[in-house]
Chains A and B, each alone.
Chain A
Amino acid sequence: MNVEKGKICSMQLFFLFAGFVQGSVLLVDFAIGISESQTWMVILIGLGLAIPFVLSYVALAKRFPGMNVVQINDAVYGRFLGKTLSLYYIFFFLMTLSFNIRDVGELYITFLMPDTSFIFLLVAFSATCAYAVSKGLEVLARISHLIALIGIFVPICTTILLIDQMDFSNFLPLFELPFARMLHGIHIMMAIPFCETLVFLMIMASLDKAEKAKKSILSGLLVGTVSLFIVAVRNTAVLGNTQTIWTSPSFQSTRLIDIGTVLTRMDFLIGIAQTFLIFFKCCLFLYASVTAIAQIFNLKTYIPLVLPVAGIEVILAATVFQSKVDHAEISQNAGIIYSAPLMFLIPPLTLLIAKLRNLPNKGGKNDS
């Protein structure tokens, strides 16, 4: 039995996916510190390398239509091992969610509301997420249209306004970065915007037609990547060699917009877009966490879990790191390691085992 009763169509999946990938827009700013003017390249390579893994998630969902990852784990690995793996998934969802909530808090106290207390921002943000999640997946799917469009509209808009300040020779020389740094950048890029789409293993179970998922997922991935790509190109072309020093290159480059001394201070656009996008990403993570927990305990509904989990997440986000520097170091180095097996190893392995064991049994013995 599945905890989610609602159904989404493949069009909604496309927007959900595009919005989710764009939700990692902060990461582009963050990755510039590692991959400098080759960030655009890292995004494209990351996309290319991530596609097989994303397809493995889709294949898994297609093989077990109507089943979420907790149910799939139980079916493939059996009760005990399956539950352990599901706990690993839940751990990943919860940790990533707390990092993202903290990101929003840091964004606000750095750029938008420097005097407001950090914890208040986290509470207000998480409460909104909890409210949205408690309305169910169908509501999230409906707002995804708006979110995905804002996400793509703002980068295009700011890019057009900055076009006179762009210097495309900033991308040269093309292959200057040491190989290790490039690899580091590619790994982060693969893991965070693209392979975090692991959460869709909880969402694709609610698809009305699972066989159409592949097309929506791939086009969603493409739209999301285009948006991230535009952001990376804009930042490098505008800021050049200074791009590595700013806390947020996106904010800094839009602060440079000056059209006839009238059209200035457009950084609020970035503030709006980033808030919306991270909000959406956090909603999907919160949704995945609570549905997974509800599923593991065989609850009838996940609604009672939403508020407590959101509360725990706020405390986690507020206490897990000591400072912004701590946050950056952990997520650049440790954060992408603990999640690596989950993203790159377990889903393909699950698919392989399912194939070998010829699951799900066509005979209908499987009552889950």
Chain B
Amino acid sequence: MRKNAAHLVIILLTIFLFSGCLGGREINDLEIVIGMGVDKGQDTQDIIITAQVVKEAEVGRTSDESGGGKAYWNVTGNGKSVFDAIRKVTHKTGNRLFVSHSQVVIFGNDLASEGLQEYIDFFLRAHEMRPTALILIAEDQAADIMDAKPETEKFPAINIVKLVKSYRFTSHFYKVNMKDFVSSLMCETTAPTAPIVKVMEEEGQKNIHIYDMAVFKNDKMVGKLVHEETRGLLWVLGKVESGILLVPYPEDQGLLSLEILKAESKVTPKIENGKIVMHIKIKQESSLAEQSSALNLTTMSVFEKIEKAQSEVIRKEIMTAFEKSKELNADIFGFGRMLHKKYKNEWEKLKDRWDEVYPTIELDIEIEAKIQKTDLLVKPAAPGQKEE
């Protein structure tokens, strides 16, 4: 009996002593941040954070009811460091920012050219941040990107994530998250890359475009890769998912659109007589998705010619990417890392003068391109089709 009474006292005490949630944060007190922009102030040299906060009350509403009210609030804060700026945002929000759902971090162009290393620390260290958050570089100010209201999405930040993920349709840029970026940044030789995002004015409407990839040397942005160059990079890395290859048909004026179905790559570094040669083997499969010529192309002999022309297009893309990287002297492919893994001893001598060695690297590209199917047509719909 006495024991039961003691238990009862303990239970009652537990109810009253442990019922509070220390540090508990209820949903209506959270300022849920879905994306952040980091800029450098023009005059003050302060860090300016633009946090895109979800307005929970507006989310369920369609835009007609609330008179086109935005479902998000871009709140800014400036300070001497990133975290300082983020905490100063509380002057305006009244609550700490909840950055756990932040899916994208955009750095302004000024910061990127100055060096990202000192600004990225917070985003890796803060326990709420995820290493899967995407990293992008704004062509100008990150704050402008956060402000361009998309047509089909409610939130600019979510829209940007959607755009970045669309890389798999064209392979014109690539998704880079915090962990990927840091992995390249920490490597002595590999040049980090990140997609560039830009606001374009089209008929009075601000639209967001993702178009190029920024190339970094150490942590400073030194140049850009355009579409073909990026795809050249991705061919080597084996990260091409899909995209349209425009192949000129050799015996005609027509242009073929080949849709990439599958791409694999294997890179084997070799040091032959003191010369570094990267053997790149690419296996690619595509489908004949469109042709502008009226000729019947579906014969074995013609297919072989197309496959050859297709290989040439791929080779050209790789070479333009490589030429660009030589011009910037930035090892975007990670050739240095590959050499390090295979030639441990030689690497000791190479790594200190990698900047001089890199432009002397030779590529040996072997491409096996195949056309797997011709989709719904076997012959083009053209008048006077003659048999070959």
Contacts and interface: CB of A to CB of B under 8 A. Distances in A.
Contacts of A245: 124, 182, 186
B17 to A, nearest CB: 11
Nearest to B25: A115
A258 B161 CA distance: 14
Contacts of B127: 110-111, 114
Nearest to A114: B127
A264 interface: yes
Given A255-B130, A255-B132, A241 B183 contact: yes
A117 B23 CA distance: 10
A239 B22 CA distance: 33
B132 A116 contact: no
B380 interface: no
Interface residues of A, number: 24
Contact of A264 (B23, B132, B341, B344): B132
A144 B127 CA distance: 32
A252 B131 contact: yes
A111 B127 CA distance: 6
Contact of B183 (A111, A114, A175, A242): A242
Contacts of A366: none
24 contacts: A113-B22, A113-B23, A115-B22, A116-B22, A117-B22, A120-B22, A172-B341, A173-B340, A173-B342, A173-B344, A175-B344, A176-B344, A239-B183, A240-B183, A241-B186, A242-B182, A242-B183, A242-B186, A245-B182, A245-B186, A255-B130, A255-B132, A256-B132, A258-B132
Interface string B93-134: 000000000000000000000000000000010010011100
Contacts of B179: 239, 242, 252, 256
Contacts of A239: 179, 183
Contacts of A240: 183
B187 A116 contact: no
A361 interface: no
Contacts of B342: 172-173
A173 B132 contact: no
Interface in A123-156: none
B144 to A, nearest CB: 27
A322 interface: no
A120 B18 CA distance: 11
Contacts of B131: 252, 255-256
A31 to B, nearest CB: 19
B33 to A, nearest CB: 16
B26 to A, nearest CB: 14
Contacts of A176: 344
Interface string B326-352: 000000000000001110100000000
Interface string A22-49: 0000000000000000000000000000
B21 to A, nearest CB: 9
Nearest to B182: A242
Nearest to B165: A261
A176 B340 CA distance: 10
Nearest to A267: B130
B227 to A, nearest CB: 26
A206 to B, nearest CB: 28
